[in-house]
Amino acid sequence: MTGVRTQTLDCGGGMPAFVAAPDGAAKAPAVIVVHERYGLVRHTCDLAERFSRDGFVAIAPDLYLSTRTRTRSIAATPAAMSAIPMP
């Protein structure tokens, strides 16, 4: 399976997510791809697309943006991580 459909959508609460799905698949198993400390970057989306090429629907939510603390700076990463509310 090589065809992949991708889109960016908003999950509940306005959290954006990148979704990759096998082209033409009506049903497929799903995986959640969790980004590393730098947030939802191209590498995370590439991983989701690789899972999709293997037959999975992959969703990669941007966990930082839900707190409105978008960062690409290594120095700002600890503050962004601590701003995520814990249950």
- Position 56 scores a pLDDT of 95
pTM of the complete model:
0.73
Closest CA to 85 of 32, 15, 36, 17: 15
pLDDT band at 47 (very low <50, low <70, confident <90, very high): very high
Give the DSSP letter string of the chain.
Answer: ---EEEEEEE-GGG-EEEEEEETT-SS--EEE----TT-S-HHHHHHHHHHHHTT-EEEEE-TTGGGT-----TTTHHHHHHTSPP-
pLDDT band at 2 (very low <50, low <70, confident <90, very high): low
